[in-house]
Amino acid sequence: MPSLLSRFTRSQQKWSQWFDRLLPDEYRIDGNRDFVEHWIEPYLKPGAVLYDIGGGKNPIAGAAEKSRLGLRLVGLDIDARELESSPAGVYDEKICADITRYRGRADADLVICQALLEHVRDTGAAFQAIASILKPGGVALIFLPSRNAAFARINLLLPEALKRKILYTVFPSSRRDQGFPAYYDRCTPRDFRRMAARNGFVVDVCRPYFRSSYFSFFFPLHLFWRLWILLFRSLAGEQAAETFSLALKKS
């Protein structure tokens, strides 16, 4: 039987979802889902060498897709246990390394980096690594939360143990894949555009998203946050994004 807290949370989430339906479509797009469902497929070419950076036990491509396109999939992750927990045979190569210290072989056609770079202390060094992995003309697809998001600011303020306890209590399903320390080093669209240019990338697309679910557990808080987002965007444009995606082409 659901606990009183879980019943309360679900009721608040329903109210939050109801309010979100009143907003324009662009405020209701789930950035992570949009990235996975719409960004990756157009860049997957037959026979491509694909590096999944930070994918760990959850590779971005499955065995069926690999076979269909003849992909070579390389998994790069700082945690060897994450790599070893991945489905058997999906990665053609596993590299256990810190992306901020790694230097590649310039053999990749495509690099995918999903919800990772907020967890590294030096995003500039990570950009250098990504550039070293890609061939000239190769593409990096990146998705991450923005440092300017309200949840990111709170995340930076709270002690690790406390914020994990809050997160797992309010969103129990997050225990499997969330709760890692986050630093949000220069994690804004403007800063990533600058780092991309310094590392020899051309920004093909940069898309900001203005949705997250962190405050949906308490409708009054969610409503206040939504009003803040509307105001913040009117003042700061894409810098007000909660999350954002980029497609970067190596020149």
**Joined tokens for residue 89:** 């045979």
Cβ atoms of 51 and 76 closer than 8 Å: yes
Higher pLDDT, 6 or 193: 193
Percent of the chain with pLDDT over 90: 83
CB atoms within 10 A of CB 114: 21
CB atoms within 10 A of CB 79: 13
Q: Work out the pLDDT band at 170, boundaries 50, 70, 90.
A: low
- What does the pLDDT average to over 106-133? 98
Q: In whole angstroms, what is the distance from residue 27 CA to residue 104 CA? A: 37
**pTM, rounded to two decimals:** 0.91
| pLDDT single digits (tens) 186-222 | 999 999 999 999 999 999 999 999 999 989 999 999 9
pLDDT reported for residue 99: 98
Residue 120 has pLDDT above 90, yes or no: yes
Higher pLDDT, 166 or 159: 159
The DSSP code sequence of 107-148 is -EEEEEEES-GGG-S-HHHHHHHHHHHEEEEEEEEEEEE-TT
Q: In whole angstroms, what is the distance from residue 100 CA to residue 80 CA? A: 16
Residue 83 has pLDDT above 70, yes or no: yes
Parse the chain into domains and list their residue ranges. 4-250
Residue 34 has pLDDT above 90, yes or no: yes
Range scoring the smallest mean pLDDT among 16-25, 120-129, 159-168, 233-242: 159-168
Residue 171 has pLDDT above 80, yes or no: no
Q: Work out the pLDDT band at 159, boundaries 50, 70, 90.
A: confident
Give the contacts of 182 (CB within 8 A, at least 6 positions apart): 118, 119, 145, 152, 155, 156
Domain 4-250 is of which CATH architecture? 3-Layer(aba) Sandwich (3.40)
Q: Work out the angle between the directed axes of helices 123-133 and 189-198 (0-180°, nearest 10).
A: 50
